[in-house]
Amino acid sequence: MSALPLSGIKILDLTRVLAGPLSAQMLSDLGAEVIKIERPGTGDDARAFGPPYLVDPEGKENNNNSFYLCANRGKKSVTLNIARPEGQQVVRELAKDADIFMENYKVGDLKRYGLDYESIRAINPGIIYCSVTGFGQTGPYAPRAGYDAIFQAMGGLMSVTGHIDGEPGAGPMKVGPSIVDYMTGMNTSIGILAALYHRDANGGEGQHIDVCLLDTVIASLSHYAQIYLVNGQTPPRRGTWGNGGMPAGVFRCTDGELMLVVGNDAQFARTCAVLGEPGLADDPKFVKNNDRVRHGKEIMAIFAGLFLKQPVAHWLEGLEKAGVPCGPVNDFAQVFADPHVRERGMEVKVDHPFEPQLSLIRNPLTFSGTPVKDYRAPPLLGANTREVLTSKLGYDEARLDALKKQGII
């Protein structure tokens, strides 16, 4: 079996919170060595983003919460005070041998420390330096800070998310998880891998990559944003209604809900048959998809009444046999108990100092020749400081003790 795709690649990770750490985690899964730089004492900001926390064996408070655990597996944690010249020098020494330098500080912050792209490039011309920010390296908003929900609002995602106008609770709504952070993390990984290929396969050089959350959320709006660019109209909020085929949405049954998406006219006819109303498919108002879109409220109301007659399992069985896309509305317990999810191995177990069988979510990429199998737990704060500085930079115990005493590590 071949080595992992990124074996031999070295990453210096100065990112915090979610988008950057998620990207570095994905690259770590793929075989890269990731050295995560954290503040002594407090570490990554994510460590303080609330419960639940793992239970310390001694019952003490700790900083290993779910927010941090979801984005930092497989890394080495090195505590380093980069606000001090001595800490900055350690980063520069580590950067000399790195392939990738990742950071998500405010624009201009690292220049004060001599850790900006030009400074790092001067000591390592082949470095791929990736900056992950809220608003990017240019533009009037570049100096601003921000979090996921801010970009869901500013980028337009919230304007098209939520209940249909006129329904109770209508108005802009945030998507539940930090979805913009996650998408930005994926874009960050794509950018880094492309730059790495350019450097190593095409005889190129290192370069600076600028990735930001605002750009990402706007690009992710895809056909929604394209509708506006074509006709100048913002699509209305549709609740759980689909974006093309109709009818599509969440329907309540006698014991729960299911999601249905009727993608074409043939599926509509088969759905009507499953629901016991085959004649609906011949109604002139509903024959073609565009007709059903125009009469969306009417057909959705009819379907809502029909679905209320039987439990979820009854409808799912009939619809699946008919080849109509549908699925239950699962909570997380149902997701991770689902036999298909279990077969796909989406929950993996790792050995953590506080939890011998800690559950994590596996990397969603599946390779035939270089599968990701060896998952390692997110590190305790500073767990690898001495190991890394000794093995990478040749520091002896006396020097490490002196740095510790000075508050550098």
pLDDT (average), residues 107-128: 97
Phi/psi at 259 (nearest 5 deg)?
Answer: -105, 130
Contact 382, 38 (CB under 8 A): yes
pLDDT (average), residues 55-67: 89
Model pLDDT for residues 273-309, shown as the tens digit of each residue = 999 999 999 999 999 999 999 999 999 999 999 999 9
Catalytic residues: 181
Distances (CA, A) of 360 to 15, 93, 166, 312, 331: 20, 33, 41, 29, 17
Contact 65, 380 (CB under 8 A): no
Contact 108, 79 (CB under 8 A): no
Class of domain 10-220+346-406: alpha beta
Model pLDDT for residues 144-159, shown as the tens digit of each residue = 999 999 999 999 999 9
Q: Closest Cα partner for 52 from 71, 68, 65?
A: 65
Model pLDDT for residues 378-398, shown as the tens digit of each residue = 999 999 999 999 999 999 999
Q: How far apart are CA 22 and CA 67, in angstroms?
A: 11
Give yes or no for residue 2 having a pLDDT over 90.
Answer: no
Helix/strand number for the chain, H first, E second? 16, 11
Q: Do domains 10-220+346-406 and 248-329 have the same CATH topology?
A: no
Q: Which pLDDT score is estimated for 243?
A: 79
Q: Mind giving me the DSSP string for 18-39? A: SHHHHHHHHHHHTT-EEEEEE-
Question: Given the structure tokens 């115990």, which residue do they identify?
Answer: 397
Model pLDDT for residues 252-269, shown as the tens digit of each residue = 999 999 999 999 999 999
**Whole-structure pTM value:** 0.94
Q: Which pLDDT score is estimated for 61?
A: 80
- What is the residue extent of each domain of the chain? 10-220+346-406, 248-329
Q: In terms of pLDDT, which residue wins out, 328 or 245?
A: 328
- Report angle CA 175, 177, 180 to the nearest 5 degrees: 75
- At 34, the pLDDT band (50, 70, 90 cuts) reads very high
Model pLDDT for residues 88-109, shown as the tens digit of each residue = 999 999 999 999 999 999 999 9
The beta-carbon contacts of 193-196 under 8 Å, at least 24 apart in sequence, are 195/128, 195/130, 196/9, 196/99, 196/100, 196/128
Q: Which pLDDT score is estimated for 242?
A: 84
> Mean pLDDT for the chain?
96
For the domain bounded by 248-329, which CATH number is listed?
Answer: 3.30.1540.10
pLDDT (average), residues 110-114: 97
Give yes or no for residue 1 having a pLDDT over 70.
Answer: no
Helix axes 312-321, 265-274, angle to 10 degrees: 140
Q: Which pLDDT score is estimated for 60?
A: 83
